[in-house]
């Protein structure tokens, strides 16, 4: 045996070391020892490849709530207060200790558990019928783009005006908003990837983009807050440039944690889960065949022509273990050895059946079903992204709606101020005509009336601009079905601030938000998908070692080295013996191993290392996302508490301004005041009332922002995710 190795095995090993890689087909004979030695040398090198190490998992926070558990606001306890270190230091609640949620912690939400599919957007004919024999060759039919639903809109229009509650505005937005419609198509894309992966294809991916709604004129930079009348001369109006607000700008956010342009390696070939039937049928005519008998013997010609019908058929099918079954039937041997015409293509067929099973690279259900597992994870991710888009749309629509409410109240304040200024101007005109008042006072009153009229015009302009923005969010303004005309939107809900504010337990809210937010849940699913891809890259770094068994009738040669599966395209490699019939009637039984041994293997090793590094990046981005979510919740709590205090202060300021105006009017009635002081106090009262409206609006938007940061905005508005997918709210 040692001599046999020196004679046959050592030269092979020397060539391997010199060339850096080789593909060997080893039958069951004495050279198996050489292959074993090669494998031993290779495995010692592969043991040094970068390993996929599980990331350290921090201790789970037992205070975190599972998604689906409802934290009632009534159960919030009083938050502790800090002790001031100096007499002037404010009393601030301490920051709660943060225990991050493990990136792969199980978070089952309604979006992940839902199996509802959008009916309008889903293609028909994608799934074959009758065990796949009928229908797989049709082109799937996708309905045209849905133009929206005006049924609810038509029922809300009365006397040329759209009377709108908050619930109606949200329902119209979820039924007609194009950003939500785009995410419904994203659900369909995820389903097509599942179908593609089930047949042995790779994934084409989903869209991770979420469109944020515009701020509107009541958002950051709102003139309702920035145009305060601080000028001591109330007759000088403050001009607001409505074109500089950028109210219609929207920002797209990507929830992808894989970075920009980074993808995982392709990994080993995927089995052909969809069976492949390959056939060749044709006609052949052979004539004037010349036969050379040997040296010194003249050549003989066969005058008879051969008319032949060739029929070659191959069947391929892959299995989740990585195995592949290949069967071929052909009658080409009759062309070589036949001497007469035949029209029976299967009179003497040649058959071959081969079963091949990978042992290293491409072996196992985990690596071969990886795309199917990732596609199912992506389906859950697409639902969580859809939920995130619905959350953003509900949040944006609610904010735009209550800004419209506040702008409408501000218009009424300006109208009342104009009526008061007009009445004062008319009274002064009467007194000037009677000679009891100096004409300069009439001039001041007229200036105040003109300034009040200008303020009303600006307030009405802001209201109209907000109407346009809100209408674009809730209606398909370009769709012909929204032909019903209305002159204005009349919001019927009002902002009601409670007399007593509930205490807030910040740690409980943080735990609730981290467990419920769809953006964090989908990031955890991306980590799971990344781990599947990283394991496949690790498997692709192994040698190719296949065991095979073959049976041939009318065979003459050894089994060819066939490529298993495909790169994820679903296209098979044509069997090498499809059109190669045997030369004589014989039966061959074969079995053995096939080996591809890359010695340095630097490409596969680099891919395995890079995919592991990219997975670590995804884990880091997910941890950062959780930290940002915690920051958003804490900031929302601070904003809500600040808005509560600001509203109380604005209410007291308005009361004091009203008292000052009443006192000044009483003094004027007894001749102890002047019209100028009355004008100033009326302007200050109007501004105090506008400030109170803005503070009340900010409180409502801060409350909505906290619900959005906690991820329970849909529950607060009684919105079912399945209804949102259907595009029809009840």
Mean pLDDT highest for which of 410-419, 499-508, 531-540, 551-560?
531-540
Bridge partners (DSSP) listed for residue 544? 596
Which single residue is written with the structure tokens 């990837």?
193
Residues 188-211 as b/e (b if ≥16 CB within 10 A, e otherwise) read bbbbbbbebbeebbbbeebbbbbb
Residue 69 lies in a domain: no
Q: What is the mean pLDDT of residues 269-285?
A: 89
User: What are the two backbone dihedrals, phi and then psi, of residue 579, each rounded to the nearest 5 degrees?
Assistant: -115, 30
Residue 251 lies in a domain: yes
So what's the pLDDT on residue 91?
A: 40
> Can you tell me the distance from the alpha carbon of 727 to that of 442, in angstroms, rounded to the nearest whole number?
60
Beta carbons within 8 Å of 51's beta carbon, 6+ residues apart: 538
Residue 119 lies in a domain: yes
Residue 73 lies in a domain: no
pLDDT tens sequence across 219-251 = 555 555 544 444 445 555 555 555 545 555 667
Domain shared by 461 and 556, yes or no: no
Domain shared by 283 and 374, yes or no: no
So what's the pLDDT on residue 295?
A: 63
pLDDT tens sequence across 368-413 = 999 999 999 999 999 999 999 999 999 999 999 999 999 999 899 9
Residue 405, helix vs strand vs coil:
helix
Phi-psi sector, 718: left (phi>0), alpha (psi -120 to 50), beta: left
Domain shared by 481 and 580, yes or no: no
> Can you tell me the distance from the alpha carbon of 625 to that of 85, in angstroms, rounded to the nearest whole number?
34
Q: What is the CA radius of gyration of the chain?
A: 39
Two structure tokens written together for 574: 């044509």
Domain shared by 280 and 383, yes or no: no
CATH number of the domain enclosing 717: 1.20.1600.10
Q: How far apart are the first and last CA of the chain?
A: 82
pLDDT band at 6 (very low <50, low <70, confident <90, very high): very low
State the residue range of the domain holding 436: 94-132+142-267+369-532+608-726
Domain shared by 573 and 691, yes or no: no
Residue 42 lies in a domain: no
> Can you tell me the distance from the alpha carbon of 440 to that of 443, in angstroms, rounded to the nearest whole number?
5
Domain shared by 311 and 447, yes or no: no
> Can you tell me the distance from the alpha carbon of 476 to that of 172, in angstroms, rounded to the nearest whole number?
10
Query: Among 539, 43, 20, which residue's Cα sits nearest to residue 268?
Result: 539
Domain shared by 643 and 666, yes or no: yes
Domain shared by 490 and 560, yes or no: no
347 to each of 280, 335, 343, 553, how far by Cα in Å?
17, 13, 9, 13
> Can you tell me the distance from the alpha carbon of 615 to that of 265, in angstroms, rounded to the nearest whole number?
12
Domain shared by 432 and 298, yes or no: no
Question: Looking at per-residue confidence, does 425 or 231 come out higher?
Answer: 425
So what's the pLDDT on residue 649?
A: 93
Query: Helices 370-434 and 518-540 sit at what angle, rounded to 10 degrees?
Result: 150
Q: What is the mean pLDDT of residues 660-685?
A: 86
Q: What is the mean pLDDT of residues 463-492?
A: 86
Residue 30, helix vs strand vs coil:
coil
Residue 687 lies in a domain: yes
Domain shared by 261 and 381, yes or no: yes
DSSP 270: B
Which of these ranges, 416-420, 478-482, 541-545, 707-711, has the smallest mean pLDDT?
A: 478-482
Domain shared by 284 and 256, yes or no: no
Residue 342 lies in a domain: yes
Residue 37 lies in a domain: no
78-81 contacts: CB < 8 A, separation 24 or more? 78/503, 79/503, 79/504, 79/505, 79/506
pLDDT tens sequence across 591-626 = 999 999 999 899 999 999 999 999 999 999 999 999
Phi-psi sector, 18: left (phi>0), alpha (psi -120 to 50), beta: alpha
> Can you tell me the distance from the alpha carbon of 379 to that of 415, in angstroms, rounded to the nearest whole number?
54
Domain shared by 294 and 228, yes or no: no
- Residue 97 near residue 63 (C-beta atoms within 8 A): no
> Can you tell me the distance from the alpha carbon of 508 to that of 655, in angstroms, rounded to the nearest whole number?
37
Mark which of 559, 577, 597 sits at the end of a domain: 597
- Residue 308 near residue 283 (C-beta atoms within 8 A): yes
Query: Among 61, 59, 96, 57, which residue's Cα sits nearest to residue 514?
Result: 61
Question: Looking at per-residue confidence, does 157 or 69 come out higher?
Answer: 157
In this structure, the strands spanning 306-318 and 300-302 are unpaired
Please give the mean pLDDT across all residues of the chain: 79
Total tally of structural domains belonging to the chain: 2
């Amino acid at each position: 045996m040692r001599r046999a190795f020196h004679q046959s095995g050592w030269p092979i090993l020397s060539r391997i070391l010199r060339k850096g890689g080789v593909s060997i087909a080893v039958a069951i004979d004495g050279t198996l020892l050489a292959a074993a030695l090669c494998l031993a040398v290779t495995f010692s090198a592969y043991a040094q490849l970068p390993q996929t190490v599980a990331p350290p998992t921090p201790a789970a926070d037992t205070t975190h709530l599972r998604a689906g558990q409802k934290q009632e606001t009534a159960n919030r306890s009083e938050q502790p207060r800090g002790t001031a270190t100096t007499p002037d230091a404010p009393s601030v609640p301490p920051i709660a200790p943060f225990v991050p949620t493990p990136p792969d912690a199980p978070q089952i939400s309604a979006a992940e558990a839902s199996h509802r599919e959008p009916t309008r957007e889903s293609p028909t004919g994608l799934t074959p019928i009758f065990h796949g024999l009928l229908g797989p060759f049709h082109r799937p039919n996708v309905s045209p783009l849905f133009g929206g639903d005006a049924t609810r809109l038509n029922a809300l229009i009365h006397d040329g005006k759209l009377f709108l509650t908050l619930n109606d505005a949200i329902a119209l937005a979820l039924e007609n908003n194009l950003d939500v419609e785009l995410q419904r198509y994203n659900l369909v894309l995820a389903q097509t990837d599942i179908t593609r992966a089930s047949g042995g294809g790779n994934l084409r991916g989903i869209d991770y983009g979420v469109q944020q709604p515009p701020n509107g004129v009541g958002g950051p930079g709102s003139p309702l807050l920035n145009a305060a009348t601080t000028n001591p001369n109330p007759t000088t109006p403050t001009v607001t440039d409505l074109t500089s607000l950028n109210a219609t700008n929207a920002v797209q956010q990507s929830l992808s944690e894989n970075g920009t342009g980074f993808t995982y390696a392709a990994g080993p070939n995927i089995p052909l889960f969809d069976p492949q039937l390959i056939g060749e049928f044709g006609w052949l005519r052979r004539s004037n065949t010349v036969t050379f008998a040997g040296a010194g013997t003249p050549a003989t010609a066969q005058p008879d022509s051969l008319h032949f019908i060739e029929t070659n058929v191959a069947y391929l099918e892959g299995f989740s273990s990585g195995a592949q079954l290949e069967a071929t039937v052909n009658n080409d041997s009759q062309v070589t050895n036949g001497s007469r015409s035949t029209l029976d293509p299967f009179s003497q067929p040649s058959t071959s059946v081969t079963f091949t099973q990978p042992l290293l690279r491409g072996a196992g259900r985990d690596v071969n079903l990886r795309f199917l597992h990732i596609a199912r994870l992506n389906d859950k991710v697409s639902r969580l992204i859809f939920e995130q888009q619905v959350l953003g749309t509900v949040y944006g629509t609610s904010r735009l709606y209550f800004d419209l409410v506040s702008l409408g109240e501000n218009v009424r304040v300006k109208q009342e101020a104009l009526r008061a200024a007009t009445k004062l101007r008319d009274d002064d005109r009467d007194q000037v005509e009677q000679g009891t008042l100096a004409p300069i006072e009439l001039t001041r009153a007229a200036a105040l009336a003109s300034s009040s009229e200008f303020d009303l015009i600006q307030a009405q302009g802001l209201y109209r601009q907000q109407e346009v923005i809100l209408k674009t969010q809730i209606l398909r303004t370009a769709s012909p079905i929204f032909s019903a005309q209305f002159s204005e939107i009349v919001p019927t809900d009002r902002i009601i601030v409670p007399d007593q504010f509930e205490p807030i337990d910040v740690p409980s809210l943080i735990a609730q938000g981290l467990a419920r937010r769809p953006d964090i849940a989908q990031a955890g699913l991306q980590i799971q998908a990344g781990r599947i891809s990283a394991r496949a890259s690790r498997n692709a770094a192994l040698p190719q070692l296949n065991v095979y068994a073959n049976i041939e009738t009318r065979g003459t040669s050894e089994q060819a080295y066939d490529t298993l599966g495909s790169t994820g395209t679903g296209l098979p490699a044509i069997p090498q013996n499809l059109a190669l019939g045997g030369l004589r009637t014989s039966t061959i039984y074969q079995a053995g191993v096939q080996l591809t041994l890359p010695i340095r293997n630097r490409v596969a090793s680099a891919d395995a290392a890079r995919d592991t590094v990219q997975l670590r990046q995804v884990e880091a981005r997910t941890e950062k996302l959780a930290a940002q979510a915690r920051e958003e919740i804490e900031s929302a709590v601070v904003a809500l508490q600040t808005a509560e205090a600001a509203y109380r202060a604005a209410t007291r300021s308005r009361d004091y301004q009203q008292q000052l105006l009443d006192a000044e009017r009483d003094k004027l009635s007894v001749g102890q005041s002047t019209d100028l002081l009355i004008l100033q106090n009326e302007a200050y009262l109007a501004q105090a009332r506008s400030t109170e409206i803005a503070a009340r609006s900010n409180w409502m938007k801060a409350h909505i922002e906290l619900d959005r940061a906690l991820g329970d905005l849909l529950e607060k508005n009684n919105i079912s995710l399945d209804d949102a997918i259907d595009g029809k709210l009840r």
